[in-house]
Structure 1
Amino acid sequence: MAGEAVPVSATPVHFTEAIDYFRSKVNLPTNSWSDLMHQAHTRAFTVAGATSDALLADFRQALDRAISAGGRLETFRADFDRIVAQHGWAYHGSRNWRSRLIFEMNTRMAYSSGRWQQAQRLKATRPYARYVDVHDARTRPEHYAWHDIILPIDHPWWKTHWPPNGWNCRCHAQTLSERDLKRFGLKVTLEPPAIEMEPREVRAPDGTAETVWTPKGIDTGFGYNPGDSWLRGVTPAELRKPLPPPAPPNPSAPGAPPSQLDAVPGSTPIPQLPPLPSTPLPPVSKLPAGLAEEDYVRAFLREFGGDIGQPVLWRDPSGTRTVITDELFRNYDGTFKVAKKGRENLLLALVAALKDPDEIWLGWIDAALSGQPPHYVLQRRYVRRFDMDERSGRVAVFEWTSKGWYVTRLAPSASSADFDQARYGVLLYRR
């Protein structure tokens, strides 16, 4: 293929941030590249089509050597040939194309994450980042146009546009100080390009499809900042209280959420809420009282085929893929936080809401702190009615956003109007 004569090596990332990023991942066998999307890659090591733990472990070891020591593509290809022969792996594509893809994407994403972590640590003295492309005929038009965009490190644009931004993307980001700006005659970009989200349909090998919202100009699966996701954790933390429902939409208001949600393929705009199902409430059991915190977490994870330290890739009934891990129930210091306010009694109701919901809703919601400008994030809500006992409620609402998750239960006396408070946005799924 064109360009194969050019020697390629991993960037010699001898700083620990990039190495820690790669080594912190958990091996996760997958059938296809589409099995895992966006932030999920920051915590999971995958090779598309590698469904064997042993095969993944060997690839991981070879890539670890390249990332920690700045290995060359030719060296990795020798490992690639040995691993393929040893495991009899029938991969798709040519040998040169597949080995280059695996090598470059893992090394570049590790480097990207490491650079972001360094940028965060040094932002007091180097508070800006500059988008740098290769500026040649092979560069994507959008990436070419982003060259020399200079913004504060904490500007929201970097949450989605920190390079690389696609397969074989050669762009990178450069941090700058005030002195650098003056020295090189550079200026901070006053009006960065708008982040225009567009729906992309991704099909899995089983024929099912998922809509992935991605910024225009960025390849599907790349619309996130790997270093930022790694620092924050791919699994959102529990919120102390639920995010408030959105106010009536005002598209002309400053910071209004994107309007493209109205066009989610396969979704059903609801002009009027459908009536509640008249079927009897399905029974849900409680877990035994007095268990250790980790036993409650393990009981929850095993319902999805996972365990503590063993994340599982799970697809909800609407087709959305999510990584279920024990991080859902951990404090920021790593300790568990399950048995409080009787929530451990609701874990199986939470499982039921996720695995077999009555409805799944999707909508934009303002996650900004009080007094801060609007900051809209997508929120999925899994709504499930259940029958447990006279004290445990009758409805579980599991809310999931990039900012965090929260589970609400409605009292046994809850009316249809109370239930309807959780039903806004777009209906993605109904049993």
Structure 2
Amino acid sequence: MTDSPAQLPFKEAIDFYKAKIQLPTASWTDIWQQQHSHAFVVAGAAHDALVEDFYNAIFDAKQNGGGYEDFRGRFDEIVAKHGWSYNGSAGWRSKVIYDTNINQSYNAGRYQQMVAVKHLRPYWEYDHTSIEHPRLEHKAWDGLILSADDVWWDTHMPQNGWGCRCRVNSLSNYEAEQAWQAKGMTGPDTAPPIEWEEKTVGSKGASPRTVRVPKGIDPGFAYNPGKAYLEPTTVPPLTGYGAVLKQRDKPWPTGFKVPEMPKPTKVSPAILLPADIAPEVAVAEFLSIFGATMEEGAAFTDAAGSTLAITKALFADGAGGVAISADLVSNINLLAMTLLEPDEIWWHWVRDEADVGRWRLKRRYLRAFEVDNSNQFVAVSYEWGRTGWAGDQITASKTQADAWLDDSRIGRPLYIR
């Protein structure tokens, strides 16, 4: 493993980055501290396509070793492609985006490695590496040796500010003892007292807030990125971007705790269409629910605040007509209801089949139904991505429908009704 985070060859750092969901934001304060260990954002990038392109550009540079210069060229292409307006110069903005994501991925991956060998290397040493324009507080922590379990690391694990390049080294008992002897000590240091101060972050209408941060730590960096990733239940709910997360009475993300199965919505049998209905009629009914027609589309904003285009093209057969699978025809109205008012929305990353080096973000909408005066339960999944959509459903007993829905929960929960 190289010591340079710009290369980032190790698996833990790449897995940390890949596990993030992608959130469009108006400003960098829309999500806060530990939330960055679970969400990829670019401040001011307010739509899926732009953020997805940035995510892939950084991922390519990280995984393939192209480094900042590779991302810098991609940055200009992405900005031109989307017509994005941003603050600062292109060189400064691209450097901030790249360095912060690369360094925090490195630090999170490094934390996982150190935790894995903590029984062999139980002490951690703060390593101040900046030469130009050093922060005096960070420099004062250089050489500090504390137990790996010291709570000081919860707020002072690098990266500790914009442009901070500090590191943490793990030490064996022997290495720690040698370091103590060199300093005339017989045991680990005492963690420096944490002095808290209030600062206001966000400006020009960009979600300003007053926050408490330890002295010497830039606002937004007073957390341990690796610990937040490994212990997701410590992460507070996301509240930015139009209340992206709408889970009720549960912290986000849920980690390995799967939410309870949704209570089925009762529907009349009349909502189900005849299996032999013409595809054009079924599609027209689907579009009408969203205020669209076969001639004119409509923009629909989902329960998580993302806007989707609802048009006839969703069902295009490539020859000017429409097509829909036979098993979805009867339940096409349930498909529309699932998109309109889902029980759950899950986000997950998948490899692009046409471009194996690219990752795409998929939104999966789930909902459970019970048909009145019958013993039929219908579970519906509607998966949406920039390259297309897919609908699926099962009509079965409640136990079978619940099992099907549970298997459909992949990635991270974005919304739970």
* Same fold, TM-score > 0.5, yes or no: yes
Q: Does 1:221 align with 2:245?
A: no
Q: How far apart are 1:137 and its partner, in Å?
A: 4.8
Q: How far apart are 1:314 and its partner, in Å?
A: 4.1
| Equivalence for 1:157 | 152
| Equivalence for 2:189 | 190
Q: How far apart are 1:183 and its partner, in Å?
A: 4.6
Asked if structure 2 preserves the Cα contact closer than 8 Å seen for 1:128 and 1:150, the reply is yes
Asked if structure 1 preserves the Cα contact closer than 8 Å seen for 2:13 and 2:105, the reply is yes
Residue 145 of structure 1 aligns with an amino acid whose one-letter code is: A
Q: Does 1:104 align with 2:30?
A: no
Pick aligned residue for 2:40 from 45, 49, 57 = 45
Pick aligned residue for 2:258 from 335, 340, 352 = 335
Asked if structure 2 preserves the Cα contact closer than 8 Å seen for 1:235 and 1:324, the reply is no
Residue 62 of structure 1 aligns with an amino acid whose one-letter code is: A
Asked if structure 2 preserves the Cα contact closer than 8 Å seen for 1:47 and 1:56, the reply is yes
Partner Cα distance (2:151, 2:141) in 1: 15
Asked if structure 2 preserves the Cα contact closer than 8 Å seen for 1:18 and 1:114, the reply is yes
| Equivalence for 2:239 | 313
Q: Does 1:120 align with 2:119?
A: no
| Equivalence for 2:272 | none
| Equivalence for 2:64 | 69
Partner Cα distance (1:224, 1:324) in 2: 24
**TM-score, with normalisation over the residues of structure 1?**
0.54
Asked if structure 2 preserves the Cα contact closer than 8 Å seen for 1:40 and 1:322, the reply is no
Asked if structure 1 preserves the Cα contact closer than 8 Å seen for 2:33 and 2:221, the reply is yes
Asked if structure 2 preserves the Cα contact closer than 8 Å seen for 1:132 and 1:171, the reply is yes
Give structure 1 regions of 4+ aligned residues with deviation exceeding 4 angstroms: 183-188, 234-237, 321-327, 329-332
Q: How far apart are 1:181 and its partner, in Å?
A: 2.3
Asked if structure 2 preserves the Cα contact closer than 8 Å seen for 1:10 and 1:73, the reply is no
Identity within the alignment, % = 40
| Equivalence for 2:29 | 34
Q: How far apart are 1:32 and its partner, in Å?
A: 1.0
| Equivalence for 1:259 | none
Partner Cα distance (1:97, 1:147) in 2: 28
Pick aligned residue for 1:129 from 119, 124, 129 = 124
SS in structure 1 of the partner of residue 216 of structure 2 = coil
SS in structure 2 of the partner of residue 33 of structure 1 = coil
| Equivalence for 1:25 | 20
**CA distances 1:71-98 after superposition (whole Å, capped 9, x unpaired):** 3211111111111111111111001101
SS in structure 2 of the partner of residue 47 of structure 1 = coil
**CA distances 1:358-405 after superposition (whole Å, capped 9, x unpaired):** xxxxxxxxxxxxxxxxxxxxxxxxxxxxxxxxxxxxxxxxxxxxxxxx
Q: How far apart are 1:203 and its partner, in Å?
A: 3.2
Number of matched pairs: 255
SS in structure 2 of the partner of residue 125 of structure 1 = coil
Asked if structure 2 preserves the Cα contact closer than 8 Å seen for 1:31 and 1:49, the reply is yes
**TM-score, with normalisation over the residues of structure 2?**
0.56
**Structure 2 gap ranges (5+):** 264-417
Higher mean C-alpha displacement, 202-211 vs 118-127: 202-211
**Structure 1 gap ranges (5+):** 1-8, 238-310, 341-431
Asked if structure 2 preserves the Cα contact closer than 8 Å seen for 1:18 and 1:113, the reply is yes
Q: How far apart are 1:333 and its partner, in Å?
A: 3.5
Partner Cα distance (1:17, 1:192) in 2: 28
Partner Cα distance (2:118, 2:147) in 1: 9
**CA distances 1:186-225 after superposition (whole Å, capped 9, x unpaired):** 5654322101121111235436532211111100110000
Residue 194 of structure 2 aligns with an amino acid whose one-letter code is: I
**CA distances 1:314-366 after superposition (whole Å, capped 9, x unpaired):** 499xxxx99555873887534224789xxxxxxxxxxxxxxxxxxxxxxxxxx
Q: How far apart are 1:10 and its partner, in Å?
A: 4.2
Partner Cα distance (2:132, 2:235) in 1: 40
Q: State which structure, 1 or 2, has the greater radius of gyration over its C-alpha atoms.
A: 2
Asked if structure 1 preserves the Cα contact closer than 8 Å seen for 2:232 and 2:253, the reply is no
SS in structure 2 of the partner of residue 34 of structure 1 = coil
Pick aligned residue for 2:89 from 85, 91, 94 = 94
Aligned Cα root-mean-square deviation (Å): 2.8
